[in-house]
Structure 1
């Protein structure tokens, strides 16, 4: 899916017409742009975040439109990221979100009755649903039903049939690579009198008469089914025609299919992404060219409200989808799959075919990495790093990147924000095997982390590798004195003199980062990135870095979230200086914009503790004299079902509530306010 998105995004309309794409690039056979890292895209955000309805609400039953609607409200930052916020009555998704926010429930929120046919039949119902097919393998009807439930939050009519078609096609692709059977299974899930079925049949009939000329078929679509026939920004039907065209003319070849979808124009990233999912399942990894898979390097970034969840490791997510698939099928999940998956920590086992888990090399002249099944500490897979003729003092870093800022991207697509996946106090472990072919000294290495703002590398001391043996490596991430971490790994160094140079391989396996974190965030060492103060995702309000503090000015309820989304028991300590307004709070176990606990200064001379469960409800309060323009040290702790608030070392509130057992931390206000938030400390318990 993401290969298709990345291929199609640089030539997405409206500037890039079909003719301009052809004149500029001719036959597209590779990515047309190189990216530092490919930024977030709405086509991936929806399938990823809306699927979380299976965790939050539909835990033991079929999913409903309302379940997915709650995911919309919980995981999106209003007006930023996730999807196109093009205006009410213009953007289908923006329209549906505003409807939901104002109490119009799903599926009415996306209905033709509520929004009119033009808005309801845009393409979004088709592009945000791939994962519903992935978690229902071999069951096209169930996949289509789940896809329809999700699509009806924002779409209706033809906009829903696209969801049913693609979810069913994806599901069927697990059973057969035959594109004809896949298309038949998909079309069986849409009404026979629908425009969706008719445009598909028109393309298939044209292909039967002209099987070798996809451009002629594209000309037919332009004449009979083009954008001029349908109102709105991006209608479902012309793009449905392109998707059917790409799949039938691609004839089961993944690479050719996503290329044709891109060259056809119209909604290029959406169409290439959708057909990429179908063909990715049908063809398997062996059918995907390395030129397309390599630059992805097993990682995607998202742009939801959780900076932690916005960093996605594809092999780990593939396991998660498989586990959900077993759950939805009512079948027991194999223990080895469950044991290899963790959502709270990092665990890279390199077991899935070709997996790299986004491990990177700093100097490709000296080193090159690839997946290997030749050596493994455990299981069958590892990461093989070739080091090629290195001499004493020459180095290359082998590392994972747990945090990004704007400088790491070439563009601004959908404004992602990030919260690091690793922190001080956690343990890093890995297994290393040296297979050195030449050199008069063995290779050496030093574990390290890099600080995000200063770019300072903190090394743990060099050690020598032992040729022909697995070496266990473990270290505790040191205190970073308020900075964030954007690299963690090893520095590989050659010790051999010039003749002979060091040549050979290093195998990396069982890479883990786990354990309780204990760290601080010094706002004097942070930066503004994608409009947010690192590492926070802001929702409403005007936020900035001022005088070594994170400063909020707002006329409405506002919040900022960071930290491990799956952290359970911990304390958050922040120095708060209220400047104006009567709500200045901390948050713990926040699972999004609509779930979590908030506590702090509340009202004139009072403090309160709230639970936010799609609306704020007061759990506890008491009198407490406080004044403006004074520092208060607020400490909010969640331990088991007990939530406590301390101010300047004194416990002022305690209550019990078991609704939310994990989540992010943050700061917030329930109304108009100005506040300075100073040095922040987190201690996992």
Structure 2
């Protein structure tokens, strides 16, 4: 790599980390899809004169306060001093630690061992908690994903995929292969495909000329007949017809009705719509994605990661970066209070090591 290429790559990796954390913080107060529907989120924004949304959520009207996540006071504009702890960021950190510890040849069993060593059980949820419990019982992959686990196609594996995209810039199939090796600890089917797709999407964003190109490249790494691929293609086709963002989401929500607000497939639809209609603009991408509802903090985080890679750290507006104070709270042992810039530098060293 030439110095210029190194500097550009480092900026994109820092953009990915910063974007993930900012998008997560934006969506965290309204993370409860059965309560915070798309209509209710926009009602909140209209009542606080925050449409169009261009910054973190404003403080809520009094009658909406009790419906928010309890962490909202650390996630709304004017109150943010560093990032809140959240599993969407913890798993990116854990993935970094995995690659630093075991390298790119890590095994699924080593992913599980690291969870037991570094991640508190009560900071895991749904499929990850089921897999953690199975690990503690002595089960091995792939049984850890299938035994007593009704969450196998939920979004948990997708939110663990970013580090594989960041460390495989422009090589989406390799990123997807790494993400799959991690995902099968806790997920099957569309849950695994979601992780592969997200890793490939982030990897492709390093070299794709447009968001649409990145989306197309990511689709190529998962089975074309899967429900995930069909739903992402559906969003792409509706966007191509120039249907509005609102009508696109309404159409796809009807077609994925009954899957639940944490299932990978409807969340991938919201994320794809945010990326396509955001069209590379960081602010528009993460705000549309969060306004789309469902698992708002997870979707905001992944959208922010993709958009941050596309525009680089310098292209992320200051209102998103400055309140984070280059600081991350984390439940991963040994990482609480780490600098965002340090995480990006360590990720860059992994890329250089692999090269």
TM-score, length-scaled by structure 2: 0.83
Indicate whether 1:218 and 2:249 are aligned: yes
By how many angstroms is 1:248 displaced? Answer: 0.8
The answer as to whether partners of 1:40 and 1:303 remain within 8 angstroms in 2 is yes
By how many angstroms is 1:63 displaced? Answer: 2.2
Distance in structure 1 (CA, Å) of the matches to 2:296 and 2:80: 21
1:10 aligned to 9, 21, 29, which one? Answer: 29
The answer as to whether partners of 2:25 and 2:84 remain within 8 angstroms in 1 is no
Measured against aligned partners, the alpha-carbon deviations of 1:346-381 in whole angstroms (never above 9, x if no partner) come to: xxxxxxxxxxxxxxxxxxxxxxxxxxxxxxxxxxxx
By how many angstroms is 1:198 displaced? Answer: 0.4
Of Structure 1 and Structure 2, the greater strand share is in: 1
Distance in structure 2 (CA, Å) of the matches to 1:6 and 1:155: 25
Measured against aligned partners, the alpha-carbon deviations of 1:30-57 in whole angstroms (never above 9, x if no partner) come to: 101133433201100011113322233x
By how many angstroms is 1:78 displaced? Answer: 2.7
- After the TM superposition, which residues 30-179 of structure 1 pair with which residues of structure 2 at under 5 Å, given as runs? 30-32=55-57, 33-34=76-77, 35-37=79-81, 38-56=83-101, 58-59=102-103, 62-79=105-122, 81=123, 83-84=124-125, 91-111=126-146, 114-115=147-148, 118-179=150-211
Which structure carries more relative contact order (alpha carbon 8 Å, separation 6+)? 2
Structure 1: which 5+ runs fail to align?
Answer: 85-90, 332-685
In the other structure, the counterpart of 1:191 is 223
- After the TM superposition, which residues 210-609 of structure 1 pair with which residues of structure 2 at under 5 Å, given as runs? 210-211=242-243, 213-226=244-257, 228=258, 230=259, 234-306=262-334, 309-328=335-354, 331=355
Distance in structure 1 (CA, Å) of the matches to 2:255 and 2:353: 44
The answer as to whether partners of 2:170 and 2:207 remain within 8 angstroms in 1 is yes
Segments ≥4 residues shifted beyond 6 Å? none
By how many angstroms is 1:195 displaced? Answer: 0.6
Measured against aligned partners, the alpha-carbon deviations of 1:568-614 in whole angstroms (never above 9, x if no partner) come to: xxxxxxxxxxxxxxxxxxxxxxxxxxxxxxxxxxxxxxxxxxxxxxx
By how many angstroms is 1:305 displaced? Answer: 2.9
The answer as to whether partners of 2:96 and 2:347 remain within 8 angstroms in 1 is no
Distance in structure 2 (CA, Å) of the matches to 1:303 and 1:171: 26
Structure-2 change in CA distance of 1:177 and 1:10 (3 Å): farther
1:21 aligned to 41, 44, 50, which one? Answer: 41
Measured against aligned partners, the alpha-carbon deviations of 1:386-443 in whole angstroms (never above 9, x if no partner) come to: xxxxxxxxxxxxxxxxxxxxxxxxxxxxxxxxxxxxxxxxxxxxxxxxxxxxxxxxxx
In the other structure, the counterpart of 2:67 is none
In the other structure, the counterpart of 2:72 is none
Of Structure 1 and Structure 2, the greater helix share is in: 2
- After the TM superposition, which residues 590-669 of structure 1 pair with which residues of structure 2 at under 5 Å, given as runs? none
The answer as to whether partners of 1:177 and 1:252 remain within 8 angstroms in 2 is no
TM-score, length-scaled by structure 1: 0.44
Structure with the greater alpha carbon radius of gyration: 1
The answer as to whether partners of 1:53 and 1:70 remain within 8 angstroms in 2 is no
Measured against aligned partners, the alpha-carbon deviations of 1:457-478 in whole angstroms (never above 9, x if no partner) come to: xxxxxxxxxxxxxxxxxxxxxx
Measured against aligned partners, the alpha-carbon deviations of 1:140-186 in whole angstroms (never above 9, x if no partner) come to: 11111111111111111000111111111111111134111100111
Residue 169 of structure 2 aligns to a residue whose secondary structure is coil
The answer as to whether partners of 2:93 and 2:332 remain within 8 angstroms in 1 is no
The answer as to whether partners of 1:50 and 1:71 remain within 8 angstroms in 2 is no
Residue 338 of structure 2 aligns to a residue whose secondary structure is strand
Tell me the matched-pair count. Answer: 310
Distance in structure 2 (CA, Å) of the matches to 1:50 and 1:272: 19
The answer as to whether partners of 2:100 and 2:350 remain within 8 angstroms in 1 is no
Distance in structure 1 (CA, Å) of the matches to 2:240 and 2:120: 47
Residue 119 of structure 1 aligns to a residue whose secondary structure is coil
The answer as to whether partners of 1:299 and 1:313 remain within 8 angstroms in 2 is yes
Distance in structure 2 (CA, Å) of the matches to 1:186 and 1:144: 9
RMSD: 1.6
Distance in structure 2 (CA, Å) of the matches to 1:207 and 1:184: 13
By how many angstroms is 1:70 displaced? Answer: 1.1
